[in-house]
Amino acid sequence: MSAIEFRKLTPTFGAEVIGVAPTLEMDDETFRTVEKGWYDNSILLFRGLNMTPEQHIAFTKRLGPLHIMTPLHFNLPGHPEVLVIGNAQEEGKPIGLPRAGMGFHSDGEDKGIPNAGSFLHGVIVPDEGGDTLFADMYGAWDALPEATKRRVAGRRACYSRARLHHVHYPHLPPLTDEQRRDRPDVWHPIARRHPVTGRTSLFIGRWACEVEGMSKEEGEELIAELIAFAQQPQFIYRHTWKAGDAMLWDNRCTQHCATGFDEQKYTRRMQRTTLEGTAPILAEI
């Protein structure tokens, strides 16, 4: 077993992992240390990685079953478990999903079973711009006023790809009737209990559009209030990417948000594996 260290990224969440191989190949004891560090810190940063897609997939599989993103347009040829993100091109054709992840969200929040985690590898990154923001949703929940906690206790929010696709992806074609049928509205608890740590997080993101038991206006107002609360500086870690960086985040207790860059000047190619999840658990308040 190699000596593993965790260097905090903020006082409250996030850590850089020190002492792992650049391929992320490791024995079981080392892996268990890294996995525990992930649950303890919610996001982990690895620097100087030199992973092949096979090694990227193999490491992520040790954390749980992998989710294959659909449609398959931007999955890595020969490795459908790897989603390519960014503006990189090959032979004049885009190979990645452009402008993905703008606006705070957790991956798969608009699906019946959201994704448990995601592991994003920076293959080519711009010299400036293209940062990723991460929000500590454990911390946001803990800091919520008690009156707000009572207000959301037992309630679920509706997440709608159909209603909000044009808002978050105006540069992409509208959803087809088939895509709308495949992504019906879903409801998830606002106070979510983590299945491993048992901690409660605030679970709310950009695909949320109404709140159970509230009028449309009241629900939208509450969603906006909760999202703004979670985006306060004390809950945020901003990551400036270097080539070879990789971020592993827990979608059950964090949110993240991509930021823009000069796409005419720079190329960005990120490769992501994604973990299958389980149905969100309503926390008892």
Q: Supply the CATH number for residue 144's domain.
A: 3.60.130.10
93: which residues sit within 8 A by CB, 6+ positions away?
A: none
Q: For the chain, what is the domain count?
A: 2
Question: Is it the case that residue 170 has pLDDT exceeding 90?
Answer: no
Quick check: is 85 in a domain?
A: yes
Structural domain span for residue 50: 5-101+112-125+239-276
Same domain, 18 and 63: yes
Q: Do 189 and 251 reside in the same domain of the chain?
A: no
pLDDT at 179: 84
Is pLDDT at 145 greater than 60 in this prediction? yes
Query: The tokens 């191989």 sit on which residue?
Result: 21
Q: In this structure, are 155 and 185 located in the same domain?
A: yes
pTM: 0.94
Same domain (yes/no): 118, 141: no
Query: What φ, ψ does residue 143 adopt, rounded to 5°?
Result: -90, -10
pLDDT of residue 2: 58
Q: 36 and 143: one domain?
A: no
In a domain, 130, yes or no: no
Pair 77, 208 in one domain: no
Say yes or no to pLDDT of 1 above 50: no
252 Cβ partners below 8 Å, 6+ apart?
106, 114, 116, 117, 192, 194, 195, 201, 203, 277, 280
Residue 116 lies in a domain: yes
In a domain, 11, yes or no: yes
Q: Does any domain span residue 106? A: no
